[in-house]
């Protein structure tokens, strides 16, 4: 197969990074990104992009650790280069604080982030309602800059990028050899995955440039993540809610919770409210599948269901998906040479 035609459906962080990995592992592939939404209107644009992993209950820990490590290493290299500001990647230090001591004192990722250690008594004084804490340095991935940067690299690699709503993967059968499904929450409808469910997250984006640290309550519900231009204040985890409309009562509640962690936020300006649906699943679906209809078959690689942890593992899962695409290509070449006999 001279130039396998690959369609990547979805242009959030997963779609774009998967497409980029495919151009890297398979330079002779012709890659096209198709998506209904692009930055700044993807779920990724709502997320703060902090590299603090979410734990998937049904994915083996070593695999999650490998994904996170690959992602961290990749972004770490960018953060220390001249491209860092364009890509929106940089280091941030801060604290994860707990009202009661967590059962797991050392999360699986503690040796991947930098300088991980328990907070001192003096540091905990800043959080009178919390009794235990962890200090560390990690990376932040600002969107839209990161998505724009990925798009720029894709275009340089010859990738076509088009706005298109794909209602059925079979639509792509005649034009493409392999379809990569990075549709996030869209996979619920597109491939009928009932194991995929939304976890609604509402956030505020505020102007508070004196906030230089992240602060996160270990319960995952309240967090403060400083971006280049705005600080993301969160949040909510509403399992099963599909509503994309901002809720004013929730907004006030988020603001109050964040102000109790960081009182100086009372002076924040320019509050914007955003909502995203985390595409959640017990395990991330990075998997090959062969769809059949009549006598036809369609090779699909899935890469969706990253829930609250998309940014943290995006590069690791993108690389895995790109390897699966390679396997698909080998399978196609195998069957085409068989067909020639």
Residues near another protein, by CB under 8 A = 79-86, 88-93, 114-115, 117, 119-120, 122-123, 126, 135, 137, 142, 209-213, 226, 228-229, 263-264, 266-267
Distance of CA 4 to the CA centre of its chain: 27
Task: Check whether the bond before 40 is cis (ω within 30° of 0).
Answer: yes
Residue 286 annotated as binding? no
DSSP code, position 235: -
Judged by beta carbon, residue 56 or residue 136, the one nearer another protein is: 136
Q: Tell me the C-alpha distance between 16 and 161, whole Å.
A: 10
Least distance CB 20 / another protein (angstroms): 20
Least distance CB 205 / another protein (angstroms): 14
Least distance CB 126 / another protein (angstroms): 7
Query: Please, are residues 301 and 325 in contact by the beta-carbon 8 Å criterion?
Result: yes
Least distance CB 80 / another protein (angstroms): 6
Residue 278 annotated as binding? yes
Judged by beta carbon, residue 66 or residue 85, the one nearer another protein is: 85
Residue 159 annotated as binding? no
Residue 166 annotated as binding? yes
Q: Tell me the C-alpha distance between 203 and 143, whole Å.
A: 14
Least distance CB 230 / another protein (angstroms): 10
Judged by beta carbon, residue 82 or residue 339, the one nearer another protein is: 82
Judged by beta carbon, residue 82 or residue 156, the one nearer another protein is: 82
Judged by beta carbon, residue 2 or residue 122, the one nearer another protein is: 122
Question: Residue 178: how many CB atoms within 10 A of its CB?
Answer: 27
Residue 101 annotated as binding? no
Residue 110, phi-psi category: left (phi > 0), alpha (psi -120 to 50), beta (remainder): alpha
Question: Residue 307: how many CB atoms within 10 A of its CB?
Answer: 22
The CA-atom distances, in angstroms, between 253 and each of 22, 127, 227, 250, 328 are 42, 19, 21, 5, 48
Question: What are the binding residues for FAD?
Answer: 43-44, 166, 183
Binding-site positions for D-dopa: 223, 278
């Amino acid at each position: 197969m001279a130039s396998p035609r690959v369609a990547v459906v979805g242009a959030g962080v997963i779609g774009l990074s998967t497409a980029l990995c495919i151009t890297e592992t398979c330079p002779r592939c012709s890659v096209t990104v198709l998506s209904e939404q692009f930055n700044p209107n993807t779920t990724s644009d709502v997320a703060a992009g902090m590299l603090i992993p979410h734990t998937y209950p049904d994915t083996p820990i070593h695999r999650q650790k490998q994904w996170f490590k690959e992602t961290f290493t990749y972004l770490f290299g960018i953060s220390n280069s001249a491209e860092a500001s364009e890509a929106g990647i940089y280091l941030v230090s801060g604290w994860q604080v707990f009202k009661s001591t967590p059962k797991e004192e050392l999360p699986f990722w503690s040796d991947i982030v930098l300088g991980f250690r328990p907070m001192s008594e003096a540091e905990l004084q800043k959080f009178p309602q919390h009794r235990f804490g962890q200090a560390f340095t990690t990376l932040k991935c600002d969107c839209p800059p990161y998505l724009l940067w990925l798009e720029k690299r894709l275009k340089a690699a010859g990738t076509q990028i088009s706005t298109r709503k794909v209602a059925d993967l079979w639509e792509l059968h005649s034009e493409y050899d392999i379809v990569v499904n990075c549709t996030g929450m869209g996979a619920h409808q597109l491939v009928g995955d009932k194991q995929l469910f939304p976890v609604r997250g509402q956030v505020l984006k505020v102007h508070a440039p004196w906030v230089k640290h992240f602060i996160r309550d270990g319960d995952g519900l309240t967090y403060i993540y400083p971006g280049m231009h705005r600080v993301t204040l969160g949040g909510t985890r509403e399992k099963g809610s599909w509503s994309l409309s901002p809720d004013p009562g929730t907004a006030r509640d988020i603001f109050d919770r964040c102000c109790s962690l960081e009182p100086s936020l009372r002076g924040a300006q320019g509050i914007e409210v955003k909502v995203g649906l985390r595409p959640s699943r017990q395990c991330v679906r990075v998997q090959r599948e062969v769809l059949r209809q009549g006598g036809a078959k369609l090779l699909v690689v899935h890469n969706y269901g990253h829930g609250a942890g998309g940014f943290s593992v995006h590069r690791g899962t993108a690389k895995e998906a790109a390897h699966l695409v390679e396997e698909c290509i080998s399978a196609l070449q195998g069957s085409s040479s068989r067909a020639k006999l």
